[in-house]
């Protein structure tokens, strides 16, 4: 890998910085706000169903999640959700959008080590404005040659990215916490993938699968990738 890779891509959420725990906290606040309309397990299941159904309309991110919170509240209450409860939901969404950016352990020294030795890019999915704001607050932009904010991260999306940046898949390494969206599509295209699991995984991205590929590596923390690069 060390002598083959020229370009390294990094996922952002839960690879460079903390993300999913903030959504878990927002969901907990929502369940408390909506408790009069059902038990937590039912509300949570309905929210997940609505959120996944809305991905094709609104994409990923806090704004999409907030719209799904409101839609779920309307459905659960048969349209009787109050204006004060809607205001409470909007407050949850705004807190998500204004949360701090907490870099994960090891991220900064890894980027400092790799910067200048490889062409580094960010390849992340989500809301364009939200992800741009996160990157700005993270102070990590200076390390990256290119930042790609994608509507999704499947094989076709990576193919488009490779064409746009004139990247050969055989010389590309993707690092991320999601097997489903960060690793498997890149491996299918002939690239390398390093999976850095995160303790909290969005259920839509959860995938338990054994990967048998010589270009694949799983590490416990991001600083371990320096052993192979």
On the question of pLDDT at 202 being above 50, the answer is no
Closest CA to 197 of 189, 187, 208, 186: 208
What is the rounded average pLDDT for all residues in the chain?
92
Q: What is the dihedral of CA 67, 46, 44, 29, to 10 degrees?
A: 30
Task: Give yes or no for a contact between 194 and 175, defined as CB atoms under 8 angstroms apart.
Answer: yes
Q: Is residue 72 scored above 60 in pLDDT?
A: yes
Site of tokens 């850095």: 196
Asked whether 158 and 192 are in contact (CB, 8 A), the reply is no
Q: Cβ–Cβ contacts within 10 Å for residue 80, how many?
A: 11
pLDDT at 211 over 90: no
Under 8 Å CB-to-CB from 39, ≥6 apart: which residues? none
- CATH number given to 7-18+102-227: 3.40.50.1000
The stretch 147-174 carries a mean pLDDT of: 94
The residue extents of the domains of the chain are 7-18+102-227, 20-97
Q: Cα(142)–Cα(136) distance, rounded to whole angstroms? A: 10
pLDDT of residue 151: 84
Strand, coil or helix: what is 160? helix
Supply the pLDDT for residue 21. 93
The mean per-residue pLDDT over the stretch 55-59 comes to 88
In DSSP terms, 193 is beta-bridged to: 174, 216
Look at residue 207 in the predicted model and tell me its pLDDT.
Answer: 56
Mean pLDDT of 25-39: 95
Same fold, 7-18+102-227 and 20-97: no
Helix boundaries (H) for the chain? 20-33, 40-58, 62-76, 83-97, 107-114, 128-138, 155-165, 184-188
Separation of alpha carbons 120 and 111, rounded Å: 9
Q: What is the predicted pLDDT for the residue at 212?
A: 85
- Per-residue pLDDT band for 194 (boundaries 50, 70, 90) equals very high
Q: Please name which of 187, 210, 220 lies closest in space to residue 1, comparing C-alpha atoms.
A: 187
- Residues in the chain, overall count: 229
| CATH class held by domain 20-97 | mainly alpha
pLDDT at 204: 47
Inter-residue contact 122 to 142 (CB < 8 Å): no
């Amino acid at each position: 890998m060390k002598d083959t890779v020229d370009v390294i891509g990094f996922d952002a959420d839960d690879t460079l910085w903390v993300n999913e725990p903030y959504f878990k906290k927002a969901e907990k606040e929502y369940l408390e706000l909506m408790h009069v309309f059902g038990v937590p397990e039912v509300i949570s299941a309905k929210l997940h169903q609505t959120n996944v159904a809305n991905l094709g309309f609104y994409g990923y991110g806090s704004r999409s999640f907030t719209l799904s919170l409101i839609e779920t509240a309307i459905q659960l209450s048969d349209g009787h959700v109050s204006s004060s409860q809607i205001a409470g939901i909007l407050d949850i969404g705004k807190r998500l959008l204004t949360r701090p950016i907490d870099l994960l352990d090891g991220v900064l020294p890894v980027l400092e080590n790799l910067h200048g030795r490889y062409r580094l890019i960010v390849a992340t999915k989500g809301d364009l404005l939200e992800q741009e704001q996160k990157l700005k607050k993270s102070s990590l932009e200076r390390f990256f040659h290119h930042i790609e904010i994608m509507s999704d991260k499947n094989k076709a999306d990576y193919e488009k990215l490779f064409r746009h940046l004139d990247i050969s898949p055989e010389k590309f390494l993707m690092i991320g916490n999601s097997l489903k969206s960060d690793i498997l599509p890149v491996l299918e295209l002939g690239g390398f993938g390093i999976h850095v699991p995160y303790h909290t995984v969005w259920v839509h991205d959860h995938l338990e699968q054994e990967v048998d590929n010589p270009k694949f590596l799983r590490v416990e923390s991001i600083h371990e990738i320096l052993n192979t690069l």
